[in-house]
Structure 1
Amino acid sequence: MDAIITAAGKNSRMINDFKRMDKTPVHKLKLKIEDKEILIHTIDHILESDIENITIVLGNFRDEIYGLLEDYGLTKKISVKYNKDNDVGLSQTITTALEGCKNSYYLFAAADQPTVTANTINNMIEKLESSPNPDNTISILARRKTGWLDSAEGLGMPFCCYGDLLYGYLKDENDNLNPILRKMIKDNVEFYGVKAENDLELLNINCYSEYLKIKEEIEET
């Protein structure tokens, strides 16, 4: 299985937090935990899993993020794609990644998910591959219930599924993922919620306080 990482967002909440603190904004993917940037933690965990190949999609701040990948020699290990237009929703970022290569299974992960472990990624892969109908199944990090789900409320990345299944829902949309996932479950796409290895995996990093919470908890252990 391959992976698609989305790293094309506007970083607007983090920028606003830095401005409120009267500090020069830093892109959230470049903020450090244990002396390593958030993006690099995310990539490292995926590389440690059973994923074979990685594609990252860039949009806003593309040069800055590509430069970070270069600093770690990662442009030789992963493929890079670019949104044609920076001002697009997450659905179009994933569509960019899938164009020309929809007939495979993928892990879909956000670049700002440094706490999702290789073990959890492997659990999602295993649940998809062992499901009765993998072409019509999404294995996803559970945020409420685990096991087979009857609702997509609150769900998002990371998840694993067949590329062509997701592409069919995304290609004409320009939105965030949750409403699309809700539509999929109404259409009887099967969802399996994989239990998080720890509570940190369920935290998102959108604002500075969320970053500090994760940084402090990781660095205290």
Structure 2
Amino acid sequence: MKGVSCIITAAGKNRRMREDLQNKGMEIRHKLLLEINADPIINFTVKKALQTDLNECIVVLGHFMEELYPALNDIQDSRLRIIENPEVDVELSQTLLNGVVNSKYDYCLCLAGDQPTVTKKTMQNLMNHLLNSPEGENTISILSRGKTGYLDNALGLGMPFACHSSLLKHYLQDEEDNLNPILRRMVSDGVSLYAIPEQNELELVNINRYDDYLNVLKMLKKMIRQ
């Protein structure tokens, strides 16, 4: 069906954040439940995605899903769907594939739950380039981490990105890996890769460690003052 499904992966082990909190003698919490502007990170990410022109938003849960459900259930939007991985202990590729095969629409905007700093403008730019690309279904639009425009390799790149669901179904099937090696293989097979410029440096930050979280809070406050 013509349209865009946003797939947000939120199924990881939360290992690095748990280690950091334990080492600091702090309460062990899921990183996606730490707060930004009084919202859990996962809700902050989902709500921002829902402000774009997508048709549905699928959040894929796995590890610690029982901790995330109460927060997500507070979001009242008919486009939001929450699904679970059939097996919890899987790599990112299978979490993403689970979202894709459960999506209703032809195009997918793929985003990690720990990327609350990706702006809605960048999300919309990723979708717009994909939907208007002359390469049609054989293209990926991705957030730049350096060079912008058409790229000849995917070195260092990952989510967020947008592409046709058929590409993901083909390349993620039977894969147990992180995303970057799969993206590199897609490009080597001739899939077009177009890098969208970031809106600010904060967009390039993933919240994996507690210091990442503190850095995001600090940079957000700085942006508000400017």
**Pick aligned residue for 2:7 from 1, 4, 7:** 4
Q: Which residue of 1 aligns with 2:18?
A: 15
Does the CA contact (< 8 Å) of 2:140 and 2:191 recur in 1?
yes
Task: Give 1:8's aligned amino acid.
Answer: A
Q: Which residue of 1 aligns with 2:98?
A: 96
Does the CA contact (< 8 Å) of 1:34 and 1:219 recur in 2?
no
Task: Give 2:196's aligned amino acid.
Answer: V
Structure 1 residues 27-176: aligned runs within 5 Å: 27-73=30-76, 76-99=78-101, 101=103, 104-176=106-178
Does the CA contact (< 8 Å) of 2:5 and 2:103 recur in 1?
no
Instruction: Tell me the alpha carbon deviations over residues 32-89 of structure 1, each in whole angstroms, 9 at most, x when there is no partner.
Output: 1222211111111111111121111100011111111113445x54111111111100
Partner secondary structure for residue 195 of structure 2: strand
Does the CA contact (< 8 Å) of 1:33 and 1:219 recur in 2?
no
C-alpha separation in 1, matches of 2:100 and 2:122: 23
Two-structure CA RMSD over aligned residues (Å): 1.4
Q: Which residue of 1 aligns with 2:199?
A: 197
C-alpha separation in 2, matches of 1:219 and 1:89: 34
When residues 175 and 119 of structure 1 are mapped into structure 2, their CA distance, relative to the original with a 3 A threshold, is: same
Q: Which residue of 2 aligns with 1:215?
A: 217
Task: Give 1:121's aligned amino acid.
Answer: M
Does the CA contact (< 8 Å) of 2:36 and 2:217 recur in 1?
yes
C-alpha separation in 1, matches of 2:136 and 2:215: 36
Does the CA contact (< 8 Å) of 1:103 and 1:162 recur in 2?
no
Partner secondary structure for residue 44 of structure 1: helix
Partner secondary structure for residue 73 of structure 2: helix
C-alpha separation in 2, matches of 1:24 and 1:114: 22
TM-score by length of 1: 0.95
C-alpha separation in 1, matches of 2:151 and 2:88: 34
Q: Which runs of 5+ in 2 are unaligned?
A: none
Task: Give 1:95's aligned amino acid.
Answer: L
Q: Which runs of 5+ in 1 are unaligned?
A: none
Task: Give 1:53's aligned amino acid.
Answer: E
